[in-house]
Amino acid sequence: MKTIRLNNGVEMPQTGYGVWQITPEACEHFVTEALNAGYRSIDTAQAYYNEEGVGEAVSKCGIPRQELFLTTKVWITNAGEEKAAHSIDESLRKLKTDYIDLLLIHQPFGDYYGTYRAMEKAYKAGKVRAIGLSNFYDARFVDLAENMEVKPAVLQLETHVFSQQVSMRSLIKEYGTQLMAWSPLARGMNGLFTDGTLKAIGAKYGKDNAQVALKFLTEEGIIIIPQSTKKERIISNLNIDDFTLTAADMEALRRLDTGHPLAADFNDPQMAKFLLNYDRQFRPAGK
């Protein structure tokens, strides 16, 4: 498994398995499938309400904890120094671990300065090995990165062949921040799984569209966390180390970039309202 060295020296697997929208009940099963397939990095979040499932799978898998890499994210309702600190301890309990490898602020809303201060404290206390952000764009990213002592190790953004985040990549480089792609398969949007350019390139190497799309991102130095609930896809999405894309392939794939995200615009007030009310709508009963 290839790793990426973060700005604080921590080594992070370049490929991980994401568990958004996997029910708390199913999560243990799918994380176990992913670990059996060879994934060692798991991306969850407080707002996925399935951290316990990840914790069950990792505590039963028999793989030494230091060989695993767990990412979780602080949700908006836990924003602010005190609440965030409490939520980090809750995440540790649910994940059945005494440290989180990477902790991110999930969304750029609420008192995220307070949240980041709590994360810095947890980092210094050894509860967290690296801290970073998710969905912070442009000036908002710069504001926080400039003002906080611990520079974000990772920024997680919607990134795939159709939204390559070229300008954000160059901006975050100034802070040594590493891009981590959410929805690296664009959740199939824009016809990713049938796209002709991906297909033609894949045909040369016996690879499918998903494998070419993921390989492109790793060749660009981006961390990926594809998700699937199909065992054969969990396996095939990891099976991208045995071929190389040529410079011409990479150029053709770069031309697929639309220059903007397809799923979420974090400058859209409606998106902000949706996320600020997300918990009320999506929190499962009793969680």
Interface with ligand NAP: number of residues (CB under 6 A) = 26
Find the binding residues for ligand NAP in span 44-103 (CB under 6 A): none
Catalytic choice (48, 49, 116, 137): 48
Residue from 13, 18, 55, 80 binding ligand NAP (CB under 6 A) = 18
Listed residue (104, 38, 33) closest to 67, CA to CA: 38
User: For residue 128, what is the DSSP state?
Assistant: B
Q: How far is the CB of 231 from ligand NAP (least distance, A)?
A: 9
Find the binding residues for ligand NAP in span 179-218 (CB under 6 A): 182-188, 193, 210
DSSP, residue by residue, 141-174 = HHHHHHH-SS--SEEEEE-BTTB--HHHHHHHHT
Active site residue 116: no
Buried b (16+ CB within 10 A) or exposed e, 61-88: beeeeeebbbbbbbbbbbbbbebbbebb
By the rule CB under 6 A, 230 interacts with ligand NAP: yes
For residues 112 to 151, the per-residue mask of contacts with ligand NAP, x marking binding by CB under 6 A and - elsewhere, is ----------------------xx----------------
Q: Where are the beta strands (DSSP E) in 68-167?
A: 69-74, 102-105, 131-134, 154-158
By the rule CB under 6 A, 14 interacts with ligand NAP: no
CA 125 to chain centre: 23
**Residues that are catalytic:** 48
Query: Under the rule (CB under 6 A), what is the footprint of ligand NAP?
Result: 18-20, 43, 106, 134-135, 156, 182-188, 193, 210, 225-230, 233, 236-237
